[in-house]
Amino acid sequence: MPSESKGVALVTGAAQGIGRAIALRLASDGFDVALNDIPACEAQLNEFELEISAKGCRACSVVADVSVEEEVKGMIEAVVKQLGGLDVLVANAGIFRMGTLLSTAVEDFDAMFAVNARGTHLCYKYAAMQMIAQGRGGRIIGASSKNGKRGLPDGTGYGATKFAIRGLTQAAALELGRHRITVNCYAPGGVDTAMMRMARSQRAQDPEAIAFAKRLPTKLLPAVGYDGQVEDVASIVSYLVSKEAHFITGECALGQLDMNISVDGGIMLS
Protein backbone atom coordinates (compact mmCIF):
# COMPACT_ATOMS: atom_id res chain seq x y z
CA MET A 1 0.00 0.00 0.00
CA PRO A 2 1.37 3.46 -0.86
CA SER A 3 2.69 5.35 2.17
CA GLU A 4 0.27 8.23 1.57
CA SER A 5 -2.77 5.96 1.65
CA LYS A 6 -4.94 5.95 4.78
CA GLY A 7 -5.75 2.29 4.21
CA VAL A 8 -8.10 0.12 2.20
CA ALA A 9 -11.87 0.68 2.31
CA LEU A 10 -14.54 -1.60 0.85
CA VAL A 11 -18.00 -0.19 0.09
CA THR A 12 -20.86 -2.53 -0.85
CA GLY A 13 -23.74 -1.35 -3.01
CA ALA A 14 -21.35 1.22 -4.45
CA ALA A 15 -22.65 1.56 -8.01
CA GLN A 16 -25.15 4.28 -7.15
CA GLY A 17 -26.78 6.41 -4.48
CA ILE A 18 -25.37 6.59 -0.96
CA GLY A 19 -22.79 3.86 -1.58
CA ARG A 20 -21.35 5.74 -4.54
CA ALA A 21 -21.15 8.97 -2.52
CA ILE A 22 -19.39 7.18 0.35
CA ALA A 23 -16.83 5.62 -1.98
CA LEU A 24 -16.09 9.00 -3.58
CA ARG A 25 -15.68 10.64 -0.17
CA LEU A 26 -13.34 7.94 1.13
CA ALA A 27 -11.25 8.17 -2.03
CA SER A 28 -11.03 11.94 -1.54
CA ASP A 29 -10.05 11.34 2.09
CA GLY A 30 -7.06 9.29 0.93
CA PHE A 31 -8.23 5.69 1.09
CA ASP A 32 -7.71 3.07 -1.57
CA VAL A 33 -11.24 1.94 -2.39
CA ALA A 34 -12.78 -1.41 -3.33
CA LEU A 35 -16.22 -1.19 -4.92
CA ASN A 36 -18.89 -3.88 -4.75
CA ASP A 37 -22.28 -4.39 -6.29
CA ILE A 38 -24.39 -7.12 -7.90
CA PRO A 39 -23.80 -8.51 -11.43
CA ALA A 40 -26.55 -6.32 -12.92
CA CYS A 41 -24.48 -3.25 -11.95
CA GLU A 42 -21.13 -4.54 -13.23
CA ALA A 43 -20.83 -2.04 -16.09
CA GLN A 44 -21.61 0.88 -13.76
CA LEU A 45 -19.13 -0.47 -11.25
CA ASN A 46 -16.32 -0.74 -13.80
CA GLU A 47 -16.90 2.84 -14.98
CA PHE A 48 -16.94 4.02 -11.39
CA GLU A 49 -13.65 2.25 -10.72
CA LEU A 50 -12.01 4.35 -13.45
CA GLU A 51 -13.47 7.51 -11.89
CA ILE A 52 -12.10 6.58 -8.47
CA SER A 53 -8.68 5.71 -9.91
CA ALA A 54 -8.54 9.15 -11.54
CA LYS A 55 -8.43 10.65 -8.03
CA GLY A 56 -4.95 9.17 -7.60
CA CYS A 57 -5.82 6.28 -5.30
CA ARG A 58 -5.89 2.59 -6.05
CA ALA A 59 -9.28 1.08 -6.77
CA CYS A 60 -10.80 -2.26 -7.67
CA SER A 61 -14.31 -3.55 -8.28
CA VAL A 62 -15.65 -6.86 -7.04
CA VAL A 63 -19.01 -8.18 -8.19
CA ALA A 64 -20.75 -10.21 -5.47
CA ASP A 65 -24.15 -10.81 -3.90
CA VAL A 66 -23.80 -9.94 -0.21
CA SER A 67 -26.59 -12.34 0.74
CA VAL A 68 -24.48 -15.35 -0.38
CA GLU A 69 -21.83 -16.40 2.14
CA GLU A 70 -19.31 -17.82 -0.32
CA GLU A 71 -19.53 -14.69 -2.45
CA VAL A 72 -18.91 -12.43 0.54
CA LYS A 73 -15.95 -14.54 1.60
CA GLY A 74 -14.60 -14.41 -1.95
CA MET A 75 -15.17 -10.65 -2.11
CA ILE A 76 -13.03 -10.02 0.98
CA GLU A 77 -10.32 -12.32 -0.35
CA ALA A 78 -10.33 -10.52 -3.70
CA VAL A 79 -10.01 -7.11 -2.06
CA VAL A 80 -7.09 -8.26 0.08
CA LYS A 81 -5.38 -9.82 -2.93
CA GLN A 82 -5.77 -6.73 -5.11
CA LEU A 83 -5.26 -3.94 -2.58
CA GLY A 84 -3.21 -5.62 0.15
CA GLY A 85 -5.54 -5.64 3.14
CA LEU A 86 -8.76 -4.26 4.61
CA ASP A 87 -9.08 -1.40 7.08
CA VAL A 88 -12.61 -0.12 6.53
CA LEU A 89 -15.80 -1.94 5.60
CA VAL A 90 -18.96 -0.03 4.73
CA ALA A 91 -21.81 -2.54 4.45
CA ASN A 92 -24.10 -0.23 2.51
CA ALA A 93 -25.94 -2.64 0.18
CA GLY A 94 -29.68 -2.87 0.77
CA ILE A 95 -33.07 -3.20 -0.89
CA PHE A 96 -36.57 -1.85 -0.16
CA ARG A 97 -39.95 -3.45 -0.74
CA MET A 98 -43.03 -1.46 0.21
CA GLY A 99 -45.73 -3.21 2.22
CA THR A 100 -47.72 -3.03 5.43
CA LEU A 101 -47.86 -5.80 8.01
CA LEU A 102 -50.96 -7.18 6.30
CA SER A 103 -49.85 -6.78 2.69
CA THR A 104 -46.14 -7.69 2.68
CA ALA A 105 -45.53 -10.95 0.85
CA VAL A 106 -43.32 -13.52 2.54
CA GLU A 107 -41.08 -13.51 -0.54
CA ASP A 108 -40.49 -9.76 -0.20
CA PHE A 109 -39.91 -10.05 3.55
CA ASP A 110 -37.35 -12.82 3.04
CA ALA A 111 -35.61 -10.96 0.20
CA MET A 112 -35.11 -7.87 2.37
CA PHE A 113 -33.77 -9.88 5.29
CA ALA A 114 -31.45 -11.80 2.98
CA VAL A 115 -29.80 -8.67 1.59
CA ASN A 116 -30.18 -6.13 4.37
CA ALA A 117 -29.72 -8.24 7.52
CA ARG A 118 -27.93 -11.44 6.46
CA GLY A 119 -25.82 -9.50 3.96
CA THR A 120 -24.70 -7.06 6.64
CA HIS A 121 -23.98 -9.92 9.04
CA LEU A 122 -21.82 -11.72 6.46
CA CYS A 123 -19.92 -8.57 5.53
CA TYR A 124 -19.28 -7.77 9.20
CA LYS A 125 -18.16 -11.36 9.85
CA TYR A 126 -15.63 -11.75 7.07
CA ALA A 127 -14.33 -8.19 7.32
CA ALA A 128 -13.79 -8.68 11.06
CA MET A 129 -11.97 -11.96 10.49
CA GLN A 130 -9.60 -10.23 8.07
CA MET A 131 -9.04 -7.24 10.36
CA ILE A 132 -8.34 -9.48 13.36
CA ALA A 133 -5.82 -11.47 11.32
CA GLN A 134 -4.06 -8.26 10.27
CA GLY A 135 -3.82 -7.10 13.88
CA ARG A 136 -4.05 -3.38 13.19
CA GLY A 137 -7.68 -2.69 14.14
CA GLY A 138 -10.27 -1.34 11.75
CA ARG A 139 -13.59 0.34 11.16
CA ILE A 140 -16.86 -1.43 10.31
CA ILE A 141 -19.89 0.61 9.29
CA GLY A 142 -23.42 -0.60 8.52
CA ALA A 143 -26.47 0.99 6.90
CA SER A 144 -29.44 1.32 9.23
CA SER A 145 -32.14 3.96 8.72
CA LYS A 146 -34.36 6.35 10.62
CA ASN A 147 -36.80 3.46 10.17
CA GLY A 148 -34.42 1.39 12.27
CA LYS A 149 -35.20 3.82 15.10
CA ARG A 150 -38.90 4.39 14.35
CA GLY A 151 -41.12 1.88 12.56
CA LEU A 152 -42.24 2.50 8.99
CA PRO A 153 -45.94 1.58 8.64
CA ASP A 154 -45.86 0.91 4.90
CA GLY A 155 -42.45 -0.72 5.06
CA THR A 156 -42.67 -3.09 8.01
CA GLY A 157 -40.23 -5.63 6.60
CA TYR A 158 -37.72 -2.96 5.63
CA GLY A 159 -37.90 -1.30 9.04
CA ALA A 160 -37.45 -4.66 10.73
CA THR A 161 -34.22 -5.26 8.79
CA LYS A 162 -32.89 -1.86 9.80
CA PHE A 163 -33.66 -2.49 13.49
CA ALA A 164 -31.81 -5.79 13.06
CA ILE A 165 -28.75 -3.96 11.74
CA ARG A 166 -28.70 -1.75 14.84
CA GLY A 167 -28.75 -4.83 17.09
CA LEU A 168 -26.05 -6.53 15.04
CA THR A 169 -23.91 -3.40 15.17
CA GLN A 170 -24.17 -3.12 18.94
CA ALA A 171 -23.32 -6.78 19.50
CA ALA A 172 -20.39 -6.63 17.07
CA ALA A 173 -19.06 -3.48 18.73
CA LEU A 174 -18.99 -5.22 22.11
CA GLU A 175 -17.32 -8.29 20.63
CA LEU A 176 -14.69 -6.57 18.48
CA GLY A 177 -13.63 -3.66 20.67
CA ARG A 178 -10.77 -5.69 22.17
CA HIS A 179 -9.33 -6.02 18.66
CA ARG A 180 -9.36 -2.22 18.20
CA ILE A 181 -12.20 -2.53 15.70
CA THR A 182 -15.06 -0.06 16.06
CA VAL A 183 -18.50 -0.90 14.68
CA ASN A 184 -21.10 1.78 14.00
CA CYS A 185 -23.95 2.41 11.58
CA TYR A 186 -25.60 5.37 9.92
CA ALA A 187 -29.36 5.97 9.85
CA PRO A 188 -30.39 8.33 7.05
CA GLY A 189 -33.73 10.05 6.99
CA GLY A 190 -35.08 11.56 3.79
CA VAL A 191 -32.15 11.46 1.38
CA ASP A 192 -32.58 12.14 -2.33
CA THR A 193 -31.86 8.76 -3.91
CA ALA A 194 -33.48 6.66 -6.62
CA MET A 195 -34.78 4.29 -3.91
CA MET A 196 -36.50 7.11 -2.02
CA ARG A 197 -37.99 8.59 -5.21
CA MET A 198 -39.35 5.16 -6.13
CA ALA A 199 -40.88 4.72 -2.66
CA ARG A 200 -42.55 8.13 -2.78
CA SER A 201 -43.92 7.43 -6.24
CA GLN A 202 -45.41 4.14 -5.02
CA ARG A 203 -46.94 5.83 -1.98
CA ALA A 204 -48.55 8.51 -4.15
CA GLN A 205 -50.36 5.79 -6.10
CA ASP A 206 -51.32 3.59 -3.14
CA PRO A 207 -54.76 4.42 -1.64
CA GLU A 208 -53.87 2.67 1.64
CA ALA A 209 -50.65 4.70 2.01
CA ILE A 210 -52.48 7.94 1.21
CA ALA A 211 -55.18 7.18 3.77
CA PHE A 212 -52.64 6.28 6.42
CA ALA A 213 -50.68 9.52 5.87
CA LYS A 214 -53.85 11.50 6.55
CA ARG A 215 -54.23 9.74 9.93
CA LEU A 216 -50.75 10.63 11.15
CA PRO A 217 -50.87 13.16 14.01
CA THR A 218 -47.83 15.00 12.66
CA LYS A 219 -46.01 15.07 9.36
CA LEU A 220 -42.58 13.43 9.49
CA LEU A 221 -40.71 16.25 7.79
CA PRO A 222 -37.13 17.43 8.35
CA ALA A 223 -36.93 20.48 10.60
CA VAL A 224 -34.66 22.11 8.02
CA GLY A 225 -37.42 21.81 5.43
CA TYR A 226 -35.63 19.84 2.73
CA ASP A 227 -34.31 16.39 1.93
CA GLY A 228 -30.68 15.47 2.53
CA GLN A 229 -28.18 14.63 -0.18
CA VAL A 230 -26.06 11.50 -0.44
CA GLU A 231 -22.99 13.58 0.43
CA ASP A 232 -24.52 14.34 3.84
CA VAL A 233 -24.45 10.63 4.68
CA ALA A 234 -20.93 10.26 3.26
CA SER A 235 -19.74 12.99 5.62
CA ILE A 236 -20.71 11.08 8.77
CA VAL A 237 -19.12 7.91 7.41
CA SER A 238 -15.94 9.88 6.69
CA TYR A 239 -15.75 10.86 10.35
CA LEU A 240 -16.67 7.45 11.79
CA VAL A 241 -13.85 5.74 9.86
CA SER A 242 -11.28 8.35 10.88
CA LYS A 243 -8.63 7.91 13.58
CA GLU A 244 -10.35 10.64 15.59
CA ALA A 245 -13.46 8.43 15.98
CA HIS A 246 -11.60 5.62 17.79
CA PHE A 247 -13.66 6.13 20.98
CA ILE A 248 -17.06 5.87 19.23
CA THR A 249 -18.48 2.38 18.79
CA GLY A 250 -21.89 0.69 18.87
CA GLU A 251 -23.58 3.90 17.74
CA CYS A 252 -26.22 4.59 15.10
CA ALA A 253 -25.77 8.08 13.65
CA LEU A 254 -28.75 9.83 12.09
CA GLY A 255 -26.60 12.39 10.32
CA GLN A 256 -23.66 14.75 10.40
CA LEU A 257 -24.89 16.62 13.47
CA ASP A 258 -26.53 13.76 15.35
CA MET A 259 -26.25 14.77 19.02
CA ASN A 260 -27.27 11.27 20.19
CA ILE A 261 -23.84 9.81 19.49
CA SER A 262 -22.05 8.77 22.68
CA VAL A 263 -18.29 9.21 22.75
CA ASP A 264 -17.71 6.64 25.47
CA GLY A 265 -15.87 3.69 23.94
CA GLY A 266 -19.02 1.57 23.85
CA ILE A 267 -20.38 1.88 27.41
CA MET A 268 -23.78 3.12 26.26
CA LEU A 269 -25.16 1.94 22.91
CA SER A 270 -27.76 3.82 20.87
Whether residue 160 lies inside any domain: the answer is yes
Asked if residue 226 has pLDDT above 60, the reply is yes
Q: Does residue 259 belong to any structural domain of this protein?
A: no
Active site residue 158: yes
Window from 13-27, 142-156, 185-199 with minimum mean pLDDT: 185-199
At 1, is the pLDDT very low, low, confident or very high (cuts 50, 70, 90)? very low
Q: What angle do CA 257, 258, 264 make, to 5 degrees?
A: 115
Treating both helix axes as pointing N-terminal to C-terminal, what angle do 194-204 and 207-215 enclose, rounded to 10 degrees? Answer: 90
Confidence band for 26, pLDDT divided at 50, 70 and 90: very high
Cα torsion angle, 147, 149, 152, 156, sign: positive
Among residues 124, 126, 162, 186, the one annotated as catalytic is 162
Mean pLDDT within 158-170: 96
Q: Is residue 3 a part of any domain in this protein?
A: no
For residue 182, being part of any structural domain is answered with yes
Is the pLDDT at 257 greater than 50? The verdict is no
pLDDT of residue 194: 64
**The pLDDT of residue 212 is above 90:** no
Average pLDDT for 24-29: 97
> What number is the average pLDDT over the span 110-138?
98
The pLDDT value recorded for residue 148 is 87
Residues 183-203: what's their mean pLDDT? 72
Q: Is residue 230 part of a domain?
A: yes
CATH of the domain at 19: 3.40.50.720
Note whether residue 206 is domain-resident: yes
Supply the mean pLDDT for the chain. 87
Interval 170-194 mean pLDDT: 88
pLDDT at 218: 52
Domain total in the chain: 1
The alpha helices in the chain, defined as continuous H runs, are 17-29, 42-53, 69-83, 106-112, 119-134, 156-176, 194-204, 207-215, 230-240
Catalytic residue among 158, 186, 214, 219: 158
d(CA 40, CA 216): 38
* pLDDT tier, 16 (very low <50, low <70, confident <90, very high otherwise): very high
Average pLDDT over residues 221-228: 67
Indicate the pLDDT class of residue 230, thresholds 50, 70 and 90: confident
Active site residue 124: no
Residue-level pLDDT at 259: 44
**Is residue 262 assigned to a domain?**
no
Question: Is the model's pLDDT at 211 over the cut of 90?
Answer: no
* Per-residue model confidence as pLDDT tens digits over 98-119: 888 998 999 999 999 999 999 9
Query: What is the value of pTM for the model shown?
Result: 0.88
pLDDT of 220 higher than 80: no
Give the domain extent around 110: 8-253
| Residue 188 pLDDT level (bands cut at 50, 70, 90) | confident
Does any domain span residue 247? yes
